[in-house]
C-alpha cells in the first residue's frame, strides 16, 4: 500500500489511458498527486474516460507519430503501457492484427522511449501467458506456454522488454493481471467494451434486462460446481499496483514480473449468485458448451507482488466488485 506516497506533480505517460484499466490508472495517478498523459488511438477506449490530464491521440502502430508524441514529452521518465488488443477469441481469427497492434506496437513504444528520458516501464501483461497447468495457485516461475494468440503476444512483449533491459538498461515492472473487474467507486468510469465478452458485465446487463440470455460456457468442468474458476481483482486495486510499482522504482527496483490477483478462486456460478444477491434481480442462465480456449482454473499466487511492490488488494471483496460494476452499468442505462 502507498497511502503516504505522492507523485508530486510528476508527468506519467499512460499508453491506453482511455481504456477500462487505463482510465482507472489515470485516476489513481491523479489522486496520488501526479499528472497522467494519455496516449490512445480510441479504437477501443473512450474520449469521455480521459478526465485527469492531457490527451494525445496516437496509434502505437504508427512509429513516427509515436516518436513525435514522445519527443513532445521527452522529460517524462515513467511510462505505463496498457494499449493492446485483448479479445482472446478475435486473436485466434485475426493473429496478424494482434501481433501488429500488440508486439509491433510495443516495439515502437520501446524504441520511442529510448530516444527520450523514459527509462521506467510498467507493462500490463496477463495470466494468459502461463497456459494450461494444474499447479494452482500460479507462481510467476511457472512455465510459460500460452494457449491463445493473445497470451503469445503478451509473452513476446515480456521477452522484448527483458532484452531491452539487458541491452539498454530499461527498468520495468511487468504486472500479470488476473481477471480485472468492478468499477470506480465514484461511478466515473467502468467497463465499456464493445463487443463485451466478459462474464461479470454480461451477467449484470442480462439481470438488468439487456435481452441477452445469460449463457454459462461449460458446466461439466472438474470443479465443485462444474464451472470454471477465476481470480477476480478489482480494477481500482489493479490501478493501485501501478502506483506501488512507481514507488518501488523510486526505491531502487530495476525489474520485476509479478502476478496481480487476489489468490482466491471463484466459480462462474458463484459470480451469478453474488450478482443476484447484490442486485436482488433474477438472473436466469442456460448451460452452454465450453468456450474454446477456456482453462478450468486460474488463480494467482499473490505473494510476489506483496513482497516486491508491497501491493495488497483492498477493494476486491466479490460483493464490492459486483456492487461497483452494477452501479456503473445502472448509471449508463439512466
Q: How far is residue 175's CA from residue 307's CA, in Å, rounded to a whole number?
A: 14
- Residues 214-273 binding ligand UFG (CB under 6 A) are 215-217, 228, 230, 268
Q: How far is residue 312's CA from residue 260's CA, in Å, rounded to a whole number?
A: 9
Candidate ranges 24-32, 133-141, 191-199, 244-252; the one touching ligand UFG (CB under 6 A):
191-199
- Cβ proximity to ligand UFG, 40 vs 113, nearer residue: 40
**Among 25, 179, 67, 139, CA closest to 56:** 67
DSSP secondary structure string for all residues of 200-268:
HHHHHHHHTT-S--EEEE-S-SSSTTSS-EE-EEEHHHHHHHHHHHHHHHHTT--EEEEEES-S--EEH
**Among 277, 300, 243, 206, CA closest to 26:** 243
Q: Of these, 127, 189, 243, 305, which contacts ligand UFG (CB under 6 A)?
A: 127
List the grid coordinates of 282: 433474477
- Cβ proximity to ligand UFG, 199 vs 248, nearer residue: 199
- 291 lies in the site for ligand UFG, by CB under 6 A: yes
Cis, bond preceding 195 (omega within 30 deg of 0) = yes
Catalytic positions are 150
User: For the window 56-95, what string marks contact with ligand UFG as x by the rule CB under 6 A?
Assistant: ------------------------------x-x-------
Closest approach of Cβ 10 to ligand UFG, in Å?
Answer: 29
Closest residue to bound ligand UFG by CB: 228
Binding site for ligand UFG (CB under 6 A): 86, 88, 126-128, 150, 179, 197-199, 202, 215-217, 228, 230, 268, 291, 294, 298
Amino acid at each position: 500500500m502507498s497511502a503516504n506516497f505522492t507523485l508530486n506533480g510528476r508527468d506519467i505517460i499512460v499508453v491506453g489511458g482511455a481504456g477500462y484499466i487505463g482510465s482507472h490508472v489515470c485516476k489513481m495517478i491523479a489522486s496520488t498527486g501526479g499528472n497522467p498523459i494519455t496516449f490512445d488511438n480510441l479504437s477501443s477506449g473512450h474520449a469521455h474516460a480521459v478526465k485527469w490530464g492531457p490527451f494525445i491521440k496516437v496509434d502505437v502502430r504508427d512509429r513516427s507519430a509515436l516518436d513525435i508524441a514522445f519527443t513532445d514529452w521527452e522529460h517524462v521518465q515513467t511510462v505505463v503501457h496498457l494499449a493492446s488488443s485483448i479479445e482472446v477469441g478475435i486473436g485466434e481469427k485475426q493473429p496478424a492484427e494482434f501481433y501488429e497492434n500488440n508486439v509491433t506496437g510495443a516495439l515502437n513504444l520501446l524504441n520511442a522511449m529510448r530516444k527520450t528520458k523514459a527509462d521506467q516501464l510498467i507493462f500490463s501483461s496477463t495470466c494468459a501467458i502461463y497456459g494450461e497447468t494444474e499447479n494452482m495457485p500460479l507462481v510467476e516461475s511457472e512455465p510459460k506456454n500460452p494457449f491463445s494468440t493473445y497470451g503469445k503476444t503478451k509473452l513476446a512483449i515480456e521477452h522484448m522488454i527483458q532484452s531491452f533491459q539487458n541491452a539498454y538498461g530499461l527498468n520495468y515492472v511487468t504486472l500479470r493481471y488476473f481477471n480485472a473487474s468492478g468499477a470506480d467507486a465514484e461511478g466515473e468510469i467502468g467497463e465499456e467494451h464493445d463487443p463485451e465478452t466478459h462474464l461479470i458485465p454480461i451477467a449484470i446487463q442480462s439481470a438488468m434486462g439487456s435481452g441477452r440470455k445469460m449463457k454459462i460456457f461449460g458446466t461439466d468442468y472438474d470443479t465443485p460446481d462444474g464451472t470454471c474458476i477465476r481470480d477476480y481483482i478489482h480494477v481500482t486495486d489493479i490501478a493501485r499496483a501501478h502506483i506501488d510499482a512507481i514507488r518501488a522504482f523510486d526505491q531502487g527496483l530495476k525489474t520485476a514480473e509479478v502476478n496481480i490477483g487476489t489468490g482466491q478462486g471463484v466459480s462462474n456460478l458463484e459470480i451469478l449468485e453474488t450478482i443476484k444477491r447484490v442486485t436482488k434481480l433474477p438472473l436466469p442462465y442456460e448451460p452452454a458448451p465450453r468456450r474454446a480456449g477456456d482453462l478450468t482454473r486460474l488463480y494467482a499466487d499473490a505473494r510476489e507482488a506483496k513482497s516486491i511492490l508491497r501491493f495488497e488488494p483492498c477493494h476486491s471483496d466479490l460483493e464490492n466488485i459486483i456492487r461497483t460494476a452494477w452501479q456503473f452499468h445502472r448509471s449508463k442505462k439512466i
